[in-house]
Amino acid sequence: MTIQTFHALVLKSHDSGETSGVVQVLTAAHGRLSLYARGLRSPKNSTRAILQPLSLVEVTVHLPDGADIATLREASLVEAHPDLLNDLERLTLGLLLTEAAAGFCEVGQECEEQFAAAVAGLADLSPQTGKAAVQAAACGLLRILNLGGYGPQLRPEFLRPWPKDTPRPTQWWLDAESGLIGTTPAGLPMNRAALTPGAVRFLYERGEGELPPKDAEALLGALIRMIEVHQESPLRSAAFWREMIG
């Protein structure tokens, strides 16, 4: 019998039997993990209120070696993110961040950096940070992409002199550390020494419409599409976010 205690980020849950449930969580040491919770749906079970999506909890579980499901023994709340639960946009984006992070983690395998990125991303989404929700989410998704090894890269052709009479690209960038989104006039030729450390540049030709000027929603949408391509599956929470923005 292996008893372990660790922090977990609640992703979702579903019913099991008449009164029990299975809670899916993201952890640093075990990646994505399912927790079997006996009596979770019983009226007298106080644990149910704790194991809500986006909650950071400390759990004690029975996890046999090699198993992909653990039996929940105890759970206590670490952080509930009430300011996200009261804001539909921030709640949706929080679910999007955690789903994206979990998609880059294997079941039962160490996932420390993605777990930390998801926790940090939820903290950045808090209205108390003063950051716009979409902008904070874009920075969180960029961190998650970079950790997965799929961060956007500057295309080599944009480092060479731009041909005369050819539409020049507009250069937009997102700095995941500062959270700043801005634009730089496309004064090509460029060189790699001119690139800002920590800033990822998105370049496109005017008129293509992939990243409209100063449109953080389009920037977030581009990152979502990149994640869905690399994970080879749609993000369920992304569909709800797309409905919200119309």
**CATH value at residue 106:** 1.20.1440
Same domain, 218 and 127: yes
Pair 37, 126: CB distance under 8 Å: no
Of the three residues 62, 80, 98, the one that is the final residue of a domain is 80
pTM for the whole thing? 0.78
Q: Do 58 and 88 lie in a common domain?
A: no
Which residues of 39-180 form beta strands (DSSP E)? 56-62, 69-79, 169-175
Domain shared by 121 and 42, yes or no: no
Structure tokens at 11: 């992703």
Q: Which of 80, 96, 127 is the last residue of a domain?
A: 80
Residues 7 and 124 in one domain: no
Residues 207, 242, single domain; the answer is: yes
Same domain, 19 and 116: no
Domain boundary among 24, 46, 80: 80
Mark whether 189 and 163 lie in a shared domain: yes
Range of the domain at 17: 1-80
Query: Residue 195's closest CA among 164, 152, 162?
Result: 152
**pLDDT tens-digit profile of 161-193?**
556 666 555 555 555 555 555 555 554 444 444
76 and 151 housed in the same domain:
no
Cβ neighbours for 156, distance < 8 A, ≥ 6 positions apart: none
pLDDT confidence of 123, banded at 50, 70, 90? Answer: very high
Q: How many domains, in total, are found in the chain?
A: 2
- The predicted-structure confidence for 13-55, as pLDDT tens digits, reads as follows 988 878 888 999 999 999 999 999 988 888 778 888 899 999 9
Q: pLDDT class for 159, splitting at 50, 70, 90?
A: very low
* CATH number for the domain harbouring residue 1: 2.40.50.140
Q: Strand ranges (DSSP E) for the chain?
A: 3-16, 20-27, 31-37, 56-62, 69-79, 169-175, 181-184, 199-205
Q: Are residues 99 and 20 in the same domain?
A: no
Structure-block tokens of residue 151: 């961060």
Q: Do 66 and 97 sit in the same domain of this protein?
A: no
pLDDT, tens digit, for every residue of 193-223? Answer: 444 545 455 544 333 333 343 457 777 887 8
121 with 239, same domain? Answer: yes
> How much of the chain, in percent, has pLDDT values that exceed 70?
73
Q: Is the peptide bond before 189 cis (omega within 30 degrees of 0)?
A: yes
Examine the domain organization and report whether 160 and 129 are in the same domain: yes
